[in-house]
Amino acid sequence: MRIGNYISVVAGELGYEHNVSGHIQVPLEGMRRLKEAGHDVHLVTNEFGEDRSLPACLDETIPVHLVSDARNRGGILTRDSDQGRGVKLAALRRQVRQLKGICLEHGFDVLHLHGYNRTAHLGGGLRLMGLPCPVVCTVFGGIFPERCGLLTRRLWNRVDALVTATRFVKQEYEAQGLNVSQVRHGLIRDLRSEYEGTPESSRRRVLFWRDPSTENGADLALEAYRALAPRYPDIDFDFAIRPYWDPIDGIDELAVEHDNVHVYRFPYSDGITLPGLVVNSLCVLQPMRQLTINPQLVIAESLAAGVATISSDLGSTGELVQDGVTGRLVPVGDGKALTDALDGLLADPAALEAMGHAASEDMAARWNWEHFINDVMSIYNRVIPGSAA
């Protein structure tokens, strides 16, 4: 089968080829596995300049086709545009024309788009404008109610199949009267296999790894560290963060104040690696106020590495963290609840270690690539005229 995959803005800023958002990593890995299964897989993405590069996780043997970008964008380090302003109409017309041309030139049996509301609108619009091949759209989340709902409803209804990985997003779309199939995928990074060292026999680290923003709850982790670092002097309370356009204040000051608080910034130095930091942690904190993707991969990858994880009870996180079994779920934005949950786990090291073992086993059983290909192919066969069901 010949499959076109549209993912917007795959190219990232130079130097961040190994630091790629989940909404790009997941479809790229799915494409690689479909190619290994014998299918002709193509990537369609937006044009990019010399200040950007394609991610390291892209299979170099997959053909790449470039089209215009109709949306306002910002980068990892800066936010110099208002993404909420929507699209540029002239660029959108050009993008649609280019997408249709690529689909026809390469004879795609199906065009699979990956993204959020506006990506699905693009897919529905392509069908309205005469794209002959069926359109499948994987959605990582949704924003409802939508502006211009009468128009967007027509676009949603023209998408041949909607797919999502989590029960949370499936129910969110079904509440809008949209039919969605749930297809779980596996993990992108196996942090244990990436780690070249031998895990410490006695792990003594609590780790927050994510952009140091209020959206990711870095301020809540800071609050918990400030309360617990003096109480547990033999435990390291660490941040593994990358440069961010709007970081919280106080992280470096807390590291100066306490010898057992450390800050590691990407790109790491002195032999420090993210897999090493995660694998050798007792517990990971992910107290997010917002999810950028469902499921949130940093949570899934932490659990799969065998590390108990404390996360906000938000969106699909309850489909990853089993409260009291593989980690803890705490109310969104509640610094005291996060501190108390971490304090309770640190006070019982044996239970904490058991949670880590349970986490890796649970993720391997429920979130893997084993059935992904068959599930996706069944959706393609359902929407392609004349295909075997």
Dig out the tokens for 148 from the structure: 């211009």
DSSP track, 225-276 = HHHHTTT-TTSEEEEEE---SSPPSSHHHHHHH-TTEEEEESSP-TT--HHH
| Mean pLDDT value across residues 53-65 | 96
Domain topology for 2-186+368-383:
Rossmann fold (3.40.50)
Residue range 245-265, pLDDT digits in tens: 999 999 999 999 999 999 999
Q: How does strand 12-13 pair with strand 52-53?
A: antiparallel
- Hey, what are 329's tokens? 């779920």
CA angle 170, 171, 174 (to 5 degrees): 90
Is the peptide bond prior to 243 cis by the omega test (within 30 degrees of 0)? no
Q: Over range 194-206, report the average pLDDT.
A: 79
Res 113 pLDDT > 80 = yes
- Report, at the CATH architecture level, how domain 191-366 is classified: 3-Layer(aba) Sandwich (3.40)
Least confident of 10-14, 112-116, 162-166, 338-342: 10-14
* SS3 of residue 230 by DSSP: coil
Asked if the model's pLDDT at residue 36 lies above 70, the reply is: yes
CB atoms within 10 A of CB 84: 6
- Please report, for the chain, the start and end positions of each structural domain, with discontinuous segments joined by +: 2-186+368-383, 191-366
Burial class, 334, CB count within 10 angstroms (exposed 0-12 / middle 13-18 / buried 19+): middle
Across 177-198, average pLDDT: 90
pLDDT tier at 55 (50, 70, 90 boundaries)?
Answer: very high
Contacts of 196 (CB under 8 A, 6+ apart): none
Q: Using DSSP, state whether 49 is helix, strand or coil.
A: coil
Q: What's the pLDDT score for residue 370?
A: 84
Domains 2-186+368-383 and 191-366 in one fold: yes
**CB within 8 A of 153, min separation 6: which ones?**
none
- The model's confidence at residue 77, banded by pLDDT at 50, 70 and 90, is very low
What is the DSSP code (8-state) at residue 318?
G
The tens digit of pLDDT for each residue in 276-323 reads: 999 999 999 999 999 989 999 999 999 999 999 999 999 999 999 999
Average pLDDT, the chain: 92
State pTM to two decimals: 0.90
Phi, psi of 22 (to 5 degrees): -60, -35
Average pLDDT of span 124-128: 96
**Residue 113 contacts residue 96 (beta carbons within 8 Å):** no
